[in-house]
A and B are shown apart, each in its own frame.
Chain A
Amino acid sequence: MRVCVVGCGAVGSLFAAHLAQLEDVEVWAYDLQEDHVRAINEHGLRLSGAGDLVGRLTATSDPSEIPPCDFGIVAVKSMHTGSAVAAVARSFDDGAVCSVQNGIGNEEIVAQHVRFVIRGTTFPAGHVIAPGHVGWDTKGDTWIGPFEPSGTPLEQVEQLAGLVTRSGMNTIALPDARGAQWTKAIFNAATNPVGALTGLAHGEICDFEPTRRLVSGLADEAKAVSTALGIELDHDPEEMIDHAARVAHDHKASMTQDVLARRQTEIDFLNGAIVERGEEVGVPTPLNRAIWALVKALEASWDATMLR
């Protein structure tokens, strides 16, 4: 069995290092960060934090080196999905490719390049410490299911879930994984941009009544869209929001980190996707549209600053 992780950042590395523990799986990693690739090939891929392990695998920035694979796991930032998957698509003529990315709309992009696509949502999180070394911050489950239009057989999904679970990351195969995906996307869309625009940590947003009310307004619109799409959420996003305020009060969302570092955010795949899906089903989403425009404009200001 051969698996290629596409995008070996924090989340991709969690999957790659775990899968590399399995005797019967050959792991490849495709990543454009050349010092990271070199470190992985020389010393292995190390995880520390919630668990310590080193995975032996082959990393490359050259897609032509990657042999045909049974499975792909895509973990690049959403705005790079198209270019990354296009580069490696040749290795998946017979394999299935699973997105474990944030937000809504990645599977549609993957499906433009490969035949069999799997929808995925993952909760484990980490951060890159140094080339070849990733901090494993949180454990958590992964939910995967067939991407409906591509007709990926459920058996193939179950096979991947089995592998990943056996490697130490619990993964659940579902006939319909949209509920898990939308639950996490709604949580992220309702909270991350509020943090990114204000600089506040998650718990601070929830402590301040006006922003907490805005978070609920954003979540309510997104829930109305998911209902109109016939998606059954697997948790109430409101409960997740309150729970996170208790257990991760001072956590700053990745989008806040992106804004501080002036990196393009994943807003198009969160609030942007909610607005667009809402339009398709006739559900108005004025607050999500406002937040989408504000974060896009904030990104635009990083270029405009040069002119001031």
Chain B
Amino acid sequence: MKVAIVGAGAIGSLYAAHLARVTDVVVLTRRDEHARSLREEGLRVSGRHDFSAKLDATADAAAVDDVDLCIVATKATHLEQAVSALEGRLPSAAVMTVQNGLGAEEIVRRHGKWPLISAVTFMSGNRHGDAHVEYILDTETWLGPYEETPFETVAQVADLITASGLKAQAFPDLRPAQWSKLIFNATVNSVSALTHLPHDPHFADVDGPAALGHLVHELVEEGKRVAAARGIALHDDPWEMNVLATKRGSAHVPSMLEDIESGRPTEIDLITGALVREAERAGIVVPLHEALYALVKAKEASNTVSLGRGGAG
């Protein structure tokens, strides 16, 4: 099974390096020099695992030969651009999306008829340059069929990822897991982006009237009401996911906080934005998520215009 990985951020790099140990991998990057250093230096993994992988890489979508599996691991904000370059290519590939939030599959579908695999990943990493990624949280990737994709295809991909040394699990219906993660991310990412707190024990603290845990809990409750109205039985309770994650010891820095602190656009539209749109469709009011959406959008705007003046914090 040949694999193409689109986007070599932390998540894309972790898939690429691990899969390159068990199959042929080509990485499609945005920048030429990124592809060149991957080709010349290989990709080093440190942290939970320690090895170097040899793989092929290019910044030119036309140079990617047909594959069996294409994992699209760009940020949600770059998805449209990345997938439009694949239009009309990779006729034998199943395409797997691992973006945060909801709606990545619809964007990919607009550009081709590939069988699609929905995925959410809970693993995390940290890039140290183009050819080195640190594997931090060795948690699972969950996969499920999108539309008519046969479950066997999904199961094969899960097996391949597992064989490569990462953790993966195939589900006949991913939506319960996808929604658990959506509610978790909509809550934790936006609160972190606004408070500059990593996902630390403050998020589970319910001691005192202004404790952050109360707000986190209320945000989760709003999200659960939307899921219920959309007929989705959650796989995990997002509040319990939150409490568990804050007990891990080393506090994870959510990508939305990294984006804010680097003055980059965030994925708020695909995460909290998606939840707010689903709420509207279901006729459920989510005033707290709307408030956080407004605040993060405004902070993003002030970040971009006022970088020279220094952001808040």
List chain B residues, Cβ under 8 A from A259: 312-313
For A262, what are the chain B residues with a Cβ–Cβ distance below 8 Å?
Answer: 313
Segment touching B, from A7-15, A156-164, A206-214: A206-214
Question: In chain B between 250 and 299, which residues have their CB closer than 8 angstroms to a CB of chain A?
Answer: 251, 253, 287-288, 290-295, 297-299
17 new A-B contacts at CB < 8 Å, known A197-B299, A297-B191, A304-B251: A198-B312, A199-B306, A204-B302, A272-B209, A275-B210, A290-B288, A292-B209, A293-B214, A294-B212, A294-B215, A296-B210, A297-B202, A298-B195, A298-B197, A298-B313, A301-B196, A308-B251
Question: Which of these, B195, B287, B291, B298, contacts A297 with CB under 8 Å?
Answer: B195
A293/B302 in contact, CB under 8 A: no
Asked if B311 and A199 sit within 8 Å, CB to CB, the answer is yes
Give per-residue flags for B81-113: 1 if the beta carbon is below 8 A from chain A beta carbons, else 0.
000000000000000000000000000000000
Cβ proximity bits B184-218 to A, threshold 8 Å, 1 near / 0 not: 00000001001111101010000001111011001
Residues of A within 8 A of B209 (CB): 272, 275-276, 289, 292
Q: Is B310's CB within 8 Å of the partner chain A?
A: yes
Q: Does B303 contact A (CB under 8 A)?
A: yes
Contact of B299 among A198, A296, A302 (CB under 8 A): A198
Contact status A199-B212, CB under 8 Å: no
Q: List 20 A-B contacts (CB under 8 A).
A: A196-B312, A199-B312, A200-B298, A200-B302, A204-B302, A208-B294, A210-B290, A211-B297, A260-B312, A260-B313, A275-B209, A286-B288, A290-B291, A291-B291, A294-B215, A297-B195, A300-B202, A300-B212, A304-B198, A308-B198
B287 contacts which chain A residues (CB < 8 A)? 217, 286-287
Smallest CB gap from A275: residue in B:
B209
Of A210, A260, A272, A293, which contacts B310 at CB under 8 A? A260
The distance in angstroms between the C-alpha atoms of A205 and B295, with both chains bound, is 10
Contact of B301 among A200, A256, A301 (CB under 8 A): A200
In whole Å, how far is A37's beta carbon from the nearest beta carbon of chain B? 31
Asked if residues A304 and B303 are in contact (CB atoms below 8 Å), the reply is no
How many chain B residues have a CB neighbour from A under 8 Å? 36
Contact of A289 with B301 in the complex, beta carbons under 8 Å: no
Chain A contact residues, majority secondary structure: helix
B215 near A208 with CB under 8 A, answer no
A217 to B290, CA, bound (A): 11
Interface residues in A, total, Cβ within 8 A: 39
- Tell me the A residues contacting B by CB distance below 8 Å: 194, 196-200, 204-205, 208, 210-211, 213-214, 217, 256, 259-260, 262, 268, 272, 275-276, 286-287, 289-294, 296-298, 300-302, 304-305, 308
Q: How far is the CA of A296 from the CA of B203 in the complex (A)?
A: 12
Q: List residues 236-253 of chain B with CB under 8 A from any CB of chain A.
A: 251, 253
Bound-complex Cα distance A294 to B210 (A)? 8
Cβ–Cβ < 8 Å partners of B198 in chain A? 304, 308
Complex A-B, nearest 6 residue pairs according to Cβ-Cβ distance, in ascending order: A210-B294, A199-B312, A297-B195, A199-B302, A198-B298, A301-B196
Q: In the bound complex, do residue A293 and residue B312 qualify as a contact, i.e. CB atoms below 8 Å apart?
A: no
Inter-subunit contact A287/B210 (CB<8 Å): no
Option from B197, B218, B299 in Cβ contact (under 8 Å) with A199: B299
Shortest distance from the beta carbon of A215 to any chain B beta carbon, whole Å = 9
Q: Let me know if A208 and B191 touch, CB within 8 A.
A: no
Contacts of B311 in A (CB 8 A): 199
Closest chain A CB from B201 CB (angstroms): 10
Contact B288 A213 (CB under 8 A): no
Report whether B295 and A214 are in contact in the complex, using a CB–CB cutoff of 8 Å: yes
| Residues of chain B contacted by A211 (CB below 8 angstroms) | 294-295, 297-298
Bound form: Cα–Cα A304–B298 in Å: 24
* Known A217-B287, A293-B214, A297-B197; contact A197-B202, beta-carbon cutoff 8 A: no
Shortest Cβ gap from B274 to chain A (Å): 16
CA distance A106 to B150 in the complex (A): 66
- Contact, CB under 8 Å: A286 / B302: no
User: Which of A194, A298, A302 has the most C-beta atoms of chain B within 10 angstroms of its own C-beta?
Assistant: A298
Contact B191 A308 (CB under 8 A): no
Residue of chain A at shortest CB distance from B312: A199
Distance (Å) between the CB of B273 and the closest chain A CB? 11
